Chain A
Amino acid sequence: MREITYQEAIREAMSQVMREDERVFILGEDIGVYGGAFGVTRGMIEEFGPERVRNTPISEAAIAGAAIGAALTGMRPIMELQFSDFVTIAMDQLVNQAAKIRYMYGGKASVPMVVRAPGGSGTGAAAQHSQSLEAWLAHVPGLKVVQPANAYDAKGLLKAAIDDNNPVIFYEHKLLYSTKADVPEELYSIPLGQADIKRAGSDVTLVSTGIMVQKSLTAADLLAKDGIQVEIIDPRTLVPLDIKTIVSSVKRTGRCAVVYEAVKRGGYGAEIASLVAESEAFDFLDAPIIRLGGKEVPIPQSPELERHAVPQVEDIVEAIRNMMQKA
């Protein structure tokens, strides 16, 4: 195997699928010669041409709607949002149309499309370019939501997302684009709804999503030095959610922490914590379930404020230490 970046893994998945399936195409702003704001589609227009790598005007509502219309009539579009924040402009089409068409039509139609959405903070791009709004979309029946945490998962999950017959929101994290992992050259699929144990441990179950998986891995190394063995579970997909893997881990460890970058209030980690509390794992809990999430603020530009707006490695270490002491 060879190491490639998260960004390359996403591009490779799209390119390999597009070579096999003429119904798959990409549309979005500046995805042509510019290669997209984060360079994900770099080189693709050269290979696939402007028919299948379609540069659009700055019109998120129309881009989303056009993707839906194409999907409804037999294509399998991949729409790139330049920043996930702009989903707000595409929201009517995604929430009131894409998510509901199959159900409203009594199961007669399907909308097989992927919305690729770079999210998260850490680049100094401030309040309108740094959000993590995945919980909004996860709330809507009919949409699936994927959040890959490394290059390997990104490639396999994107393949599964493109093959899925539903609208799938694929959350990429800007800070992960340059991170590397071993990624097979051939195309492979990671089923949606299958969590991954990113690190095995016996003392506490830490459920982490997106960029927080990496931070949790670093935190777990530090905690191991204190003799605390953290088990890290990455759900990888929020909808569908593999709650089984989480519950069985909590039953073993007796403790559960959930960490996510999005604003803590109403974030998807709240859903995970609730599901654990409602499950058979409840009787095994030795401590209250805890959540770490973003502060209830828009993301500020000033670097230190920005860092403190979302959980960092030291916050995870401290929270887990406190949790262990309380037992």
Chain B
Amino acid sequence: MSIPLAKRDWNGNDVLHLYYQMWLIRLFDEKVDEMFAKGLIHGTTHLCVGQEATPVAACAALMKTDKITSTHRGHGHCIAKGADVSKMMAELMGRVTGYCKGKGGSMHIADLEEGNLGANGIVGGGIPIAVGAALTSNMMKENYVVLCFFGDGATNEGSFHEALNLAAIWDLPVIFFCENNQYGMSGSVKEMFRIQDIADRAVAYGMPGHVVDGNDLEAVYDVVACAVARARSGAGPSLIEAKTYRWKGHSKSDGRKYRTREEETAWKAKDPIARFKSRLIDEGIATEEQLNDIQARAKMEIERAVSFAENSPYPTLEMLEEDVYAH
């Protein structure tokens, strides 16, 4: 770890806020897990517990005006880009006060005001969309960049390859950000790839590729900041691969037969939140007590979100046929 935390420029973010956001993500998803188990949420969900550093660090390197595209495992991206957890929880519970009036649910949350162009139920579906959003930025000289989140599994879809090539030949301001959590559902990266690093695929499209420890908030921030600067300067896209791990099952019912409990334990020892907490304490940025308070504050925020959602009405039946076409 090179630069002391106190001397770092976090793109104007308060470093303790980043710590808070990581807890907000973890506690949100743990709460969602609990609510699914109790049958309080209809549908399905994909949790990003254990993967909190990637969204927080990546979004910290963006400006508010920059945009992201997200995935089925998108709660972390959404929170990191500035979403209100109450409206997220309401969306998961199918309430009209949710981000999409309860029509989208967990896999389709979009928060356009904060630049989140949406989660996606189609693996790889958001990758070309990010390219199009970057095209607007160039054509309209808006100077925003687009950070495109996707998983390791998504890089085996044709959409990934076609989109990277397109962004490369048009020098578009996109940061292709792969959260390699070692599995696409049950498919291990060891079985689904003949390469060690997905970042190597960047070579095929003529853009830089970077591998980073996805559980190290600072390392992720640094590499994304670099790619953002490159994109904003007009030099074109980059591919970043952040190695991380999802702690829970793929979705709500998953016996995790395709991996070992030892492997899970080993990765849990690399907990991104605990690692950052030690850094904050070691460098004298905050005391253990202060950090525990931050965590407690995040917990209260999640409780507020649940009660907001639970007390919100469902959409009315008249709304079923609204919003199909734009006026």
How many Å from the CB of B133 to the closest CB on chain A? 19
Interface pick from B119-127, B224-232, B276-284, B302-310: B119-127
- Centre residue among A37, A57, A309 by max chain B CB count within 10 A: A57
Among A58, A61, A86, A126, contact of B108 (Cβ-Cβ < 8 Å): A126
Q: Are B317 and A126 in contact (CB under 8 A)?
A: no
- Per the 8 Å Cβ criterion, residues 107-141 of A in contact with B are 123-129
In Å, the complex CA distance between A29 and B154 comes to 12
How many Å from the CB of B209 to the closest CB on chain A? 19
How many Å from the CB of B199 to the closest CB on chain A? 17
Interface pick from A3-11, A231-239, A290-298: A290-298
Q: Are A128 and B122 in contact (CB under 8 A)?
A: yes
Q: Are A124 and B44 in contact (CB under 8 A)?
A: yes
Q: Are B43 and A301 in contact (CB under 8 A)?
A: yes
Q: Are A305 and B102 in contact (CB under 8 A)?
A: yes
* In the complex, chain A residues whose CB is within 8 Å of the CB of B108: 126-128, 301
- Per the 8 Å Cβ criterion, residues 96-152 of B in contact with A are 96, 101-108, 120-125
Interface pick from B53-61, B285-293, B318-326: B318-326
* In the complex, chain B residues whose CB is within 8 Å of the CB of A295: 320-321
* In the complex, chain A residues whose CB is within 8 Å of the CB of B314: 302-305
The closest CB in chain B to the CB of A38 belongs to B253
Q: Are B43 and A297 in contact (CB under 8 A)?
A: no
Q: Are B103 and A58 in contact (CB under 8 A)?
A: no
> Does any Cβ of B come within 8 Å of A59's Cβ?
yes
- 0/1 interface trace, chain B 70-83, chain A, CB 8 Å (1 if under): 00000000000000
* In the complex, chain A residues whose CB is within 8 Å of the CB of B103: 126-127, 300-302, 305
> Does any Cβ of A come within 8 Å of B157's Cβ?
yes
The closest CB in chain A to the CB of B121 belongs to A128
In Å, the complex CA distance between A300 and B95 comes to 11
In Å, the complex CA distance between A301 and B107 comes to 10
Interface pick from B12-20, B182-190, B212-220, B264-272: B182-190
Among A58, A126, A129, A301, contact of B187 (Cβ-Cβ < 8 Å): A58
Q: Are B191 and A55 in contact (CB under 8 A)?
A: yes
In Å, the complex CA distance between A240 and B95 comes to 43
Q: Are B42 and A301 in contact (CB under 8 A)?
A: yes
In Å, the complex CA distance between A295 and B104 comes to 17
How many Å from the CB of B43 to the closest CB on chain A? 3
Among B101, B107, B320, contact of A308 (Cβ-Cβ < 8 Å): B320
In Å, the complex CA distance between A61 and B156 comes to 10
> Does any Cβ of A come within 8 Å of B37's Cβ?
no
Contact A300 to B320, CB < 8 A, known contacts A29-B187, A30-B185, A126-B104: yes
> Does any Cβ of B come within 8 Å of A101's Cβ?
no
- 0/1 interface trace, chain A 57-94, chain B, CB 8 Å (1 if under): 11111100000000000000000000001100100000
* In the complex, chain A residues whose CB is within 8 Å of the CB of B94: 124, 301-303, 305
* In the complex, chain A residues whose CB is within 8 Å of the CB of B42: 124, 301-303, 306
Q: Are A59 and B317 in contact (CB under 8 A)?
A: no
* In the complex, chain A residues whose CB is within 8 Å of the CB of B319: 305
In Å, the complex CA distance between A32 and B257 comes to 10
How many Å from the CB of A206 to the closest CB on chain B? 25
Count of chain A residues with Cβ under 8 Å from any Cβ of B? 37
* In the complex, chain A residues whose CB is within 8 Å of the CB of B124: 58
> Does any Cβ of B come within 8 Å of A34's Cβ?
yes
* In the complex, chain B residues whose CB is within 8 Å of the CB of A29: 184-185, 187
In Å, the complex CA distance between A75 and B101 comes to 48
- 0/1 interface trace, chain A 251-281, chain B, CB 8 Å (1 if under): 0000000000000000000000000000000
* In the complex, chain A residues whose CB is within 8 Å of the CB of B95: 302
Q: Are A32 and B186 in contact (CB under 8 A)?
A: yes
In Å, the complex CA distance between A104 and B96 comes to 52
The closest CB in chain A to the CB of B185 belongs to A30
In Å, the complex CA distance between A114 and B63 comes to 49
* In the complex, chain A residues whose CB is within 8 Å of the CB of B125: 128
The closest CB in chain B to the CB of A304 belongs to B314
In Å, the complex CA distance between A197 and B152 comes to 48
* In the complex, chain B residues whose CB is within 8 Å of the CB of A190: none
- Centre residue among B185, B314, B315 by max chain A CB count within 10 A: B185
How many Å from the CB of B125 to the closest CB on chain A? 8
How many Å from the CB of B113 to the closest CB on chain A? 21
> Does any Cβ of B come within 8 Å of A95's Cβ?
no
Q: Which residues of B contact A (CB under 8 A)?
A: 42-44, 94-96, 101-108, 120-125, 153-154, 156-158, 184-187, 191-192, 254, 257-258, 314-315, 317, 319-321, 324
Question: What would be 28 A-B contacts, judged by CB atoms less than 8 Å apart?
Answer: A32-B258, A33-B258, A55-B186, A55-B191, A56-B187, A58-B154, A58-B185, A59-B156, A61-B158, A85-B121, A86-B122, A123-B44, A124-B94, A126-B103, A128-B108, A129-B121, A295-B320, A300-B103, A301-B43, A301-B106, A302-B101, A302-B103, A302-B105, A303-B314, A304-B314, A305-B94, A305-B314, A305-B317
Q: Which residues of A contact B (CB under 8 A)?
A: 29-30, 32-34, 37, 55-62, 85-86, 89, 123-129, 295-298, 300-306, 308-309
With A129-B44, A305-B94 given, can you name 20 additional A-B contacts, CB distance below 8 Å? Answer: A29-B185, A32-B186, A34-B185, A37-B185, A59-B156, A59-B157, A59-B158, A85-B122, A123-B43, A124-B43, A125-B121, A126-B121, A128-B121, A128-B125, A300-B104, A300-B320, A301-B108, A302-B95, A303-B94, A305-B102
Name the 7 nearest CB pairs between A and B, nearest first: A124-B43, A301-B105, A302-B94, A128-B121, A124-B42, A57-B156, A302-B102
